[in-house]
Amino acid sequence: MTYPLDKVGTKVSNLLHYQPYPAYPFKDTVLAHVFPKTFFDWSLQLAVPVTFALLYYTIAHSANHFQSGFDHTKGDSFKAKVLRAVVILHNAGLCLYSFFTFFMSAPVALDLFAQGWRAAGHEGLKLALCSIPATNSLIGRWSYIFYLSKYYEVMDSIILYLKGKKIGNLQSYHHAGALFSMWIAYRLQAQAVWVFVVFNSGVHTFMYAYYFCAALKLPFPKTLKRNLTTLQILQIASGTLLVNLYYFLKLDPVYVYGQLLGSATAQSGFSKALFGSSKSALTASAAGQSLMQLSTYAQARATFPASQRDSCIETTGSAVAILGNTLYMGPLLVLFANFFISSYFKQQQQSKANGFAKGKQQNGNGKAVNGKH
C-alpha cells in the first residue's frame, strides 16, 4: 500500500530509501551552537541508535554477573556522599527536563485539536490528530532533543547497578527499545511522534519527581509508587491504542477546510466587534493565524488524489514507524504488567500469609490473634 506523500512510481519496498531526513529544527536559534547540523545528521543514522542500544543491553546484562550486591550510595564515605548527590541531581534534572518538554510540546498539539473541534467537531478533531507534523518547528525541535535524552536515561541503569541491584529485563528492554522507537518515529517523520513525546514526558515528570523525593529520604506511602507503575502501564496502553488509530481513521479534509475558513472569518469579525478598529487588525491577524495553521494542512490534504484523500497516514515511513513502536510496546506492556503483579499483588499475598502464620505462632492455639480462623 502507498500513501499520499510517497514518491510516485517508486516500488513500495524502496519507499523508505527515499524518505528524506527531517528538516533541521535549530536554524537561526541559539541551540544551533549546541546541536550543529553535522551532529544532527550523524545522530539520525541508523547505526547510531542500533549500536548504542546493543552495547548498552550487552554491557548491562554482562555486568549483572559481577554484581556483588553492595550499595555504593550508603555510608559516610566521600564516595557515597558524592554518589547520593549525583542521584539527586540526576532525578531532579530529568524531572525538570521532562516537565519542560511536556510544557513546550503539549500545548502545540492541544491548540491544533482545539482549532479542529471548534470549527468542525469530530471531523476537525480527526484531521488535527492526523496533521500534527514532526516537521513543526516546536514539535520537531523538542522531539529531537527528547530522542537524544534517551541516550542519557541509561544513567538509570548505572545508578541501579551502583546501588547493588541487578539490571533486569524490564529496565534494559525499556531503555534500549525507547531509544530505537524515538529514533524511528522522528527519523521517519511519523505524525504520531507527538504521542511518544507528550505522553512519555508527562509520565516521566511524575516518575522522576518521585525518585527525587525518594533520594531525599522523604516518606511516601507505598501506594504512590504502585500508582506510578499503573500510570506507566496506562501510558503504554493508551499511547499504543492512539497511534494505531492512525491506520483506521478516515478524513474529510474538504469539509473541514471549509469549516475552518468560516471559523476564521467569524473569529475576525468577533474580534473587531469586541476590541474596536484600533486593535482589530492585530487581534484578527493573531486569531486568523492560529486557525489558519490547521486550515493549511486541510487545504494541502484536499489536494491529495481522491483515492488517498481520506488517509490519516501520509507516508509509508510514518506507517512503518507506528508498526515499529507497536512491536516494541507490546512486550514492554507485558513486562510492566508482570512487574506490577510480582511487586505488589504477590508481595501483598505473601505479607498476609506471613502475618497469618505469625498470628498463629503468637496465639499458640491454631487461631489468629483476633480469634478468627
Q: What is the 3-state secondary structure (H, E, C) of the chain?
A: CCCCCCCCCCCHHHHHHHCCCCCCCCCCCHHHCCCCHHHHHHHCCCHHHHHHHHHHHHHHHHHHHHCCCCCCCCCCCHHHHHHHHHHHHHHHHHHHHHHHHHHHHHHHHHHHHHHHHHHHHHHHHHHHHHHCCCCCHHHHHHHHHHHHHHHHCCHHHHHHHHCCCCCCHHHHHHHHHHHHHHHHHHHCCCCCHHHHHHHHHHHHHHHHHHHHHHHCCCCCCHHHHHHHHHHHHHHHHHHHHHHHHHHCCECCHHHHHHHHHHHHHHHHHHHHHHHCHHHHHHHHHHHHHHHHHHHHHHHHHHCCCCCCCCECCCCHHHHHHHHHHHHHHHHHHHHHHHHHHHHHHHHHHHHHHHHHHHHHHHHCCCCCCCCCC
pLDDT single digits (tens) 29-77: 999 999 999 999 999 999 999 999 999 999 999 999 999 999 999 999 9
Least confident span in 144-148, 178-182, 362-366: 362-366
Angle, alpha carbons 206-325-147 (nearest 5°): 55
Higher-confidence residue of 353 and 340: namely 340
pLDDT single digits (tens) 84-116: 999 999 999 999 999 999 999 999 899 999 999
d(CA 144, CA 114): 25
pLDDT single digits (tens) 209-239: 999 999 998 887 777 878 888 899 999 999 9
CB atoms within 10 A of CB 289: 10
**Mean pLDDT (the chain, rounded):** 84
Q: Nine-digit cell at 109? A: 498539539
Tell me the pLDDT band of 118, cut-offs 50, 70 and 90. very high
Q: What integer pLDDT is reported at residue 141 of this predicted model?
A: 92
d(CA 180, CA 17): 18
Question: Residue 364 above 80 pLDDT?
Answer: no
Tell me the pLDDT band of 137, cut-offs 50, 70 and 90. confident
Q: What integer pLDDT is reported at residue 284 of this predicted model?
A: 38
Question: Residue 146 above 60 pLDDT?
Answer: yes
Higher-confidence residue of 36 and 268: namely 36
Tell me the pLDDT band of 305, cut-offs 50, 70 and 90. confident
Q: What integer pLDDT is reported at residue 282 of this predicted model?
A: 35
Nearest in space to 60 (alpha carbons), one of 181, 162, 180, 161: 161
pLDDT single digits (tens) 236-257: 999 999 999 999 999 999 999 9
Nearest in space to 239 (alpha carbons), one of 293, 171, 181, 315: 181
Q: What percentage of the chain has pLDDT greater than the value 90?
A: 59
* Over residues 159-176, mean pLDDT: 95
Nearest in space to 21 (alpha carbons), one of 186, 145, 193, 191: 186
Q: What integer pLDDT is reported at residue 362 of this predicted model?
A: 52
- 161 within 8 A of 167, measured Cβ to Cβ: yes
Question: Residue 360 above 80 pLDDT?
Answer: no
Q: What integer pLDDT is reported at residue 358 of this predicted model?
A: 55
Handedness of CA 250, 22, 153, 87 (dihedral sign): negative
How distant, in Å, are the alpha carbons of 83, 119, 121, 298, 372 from that of 133?
41, 20, 21, 13, 63
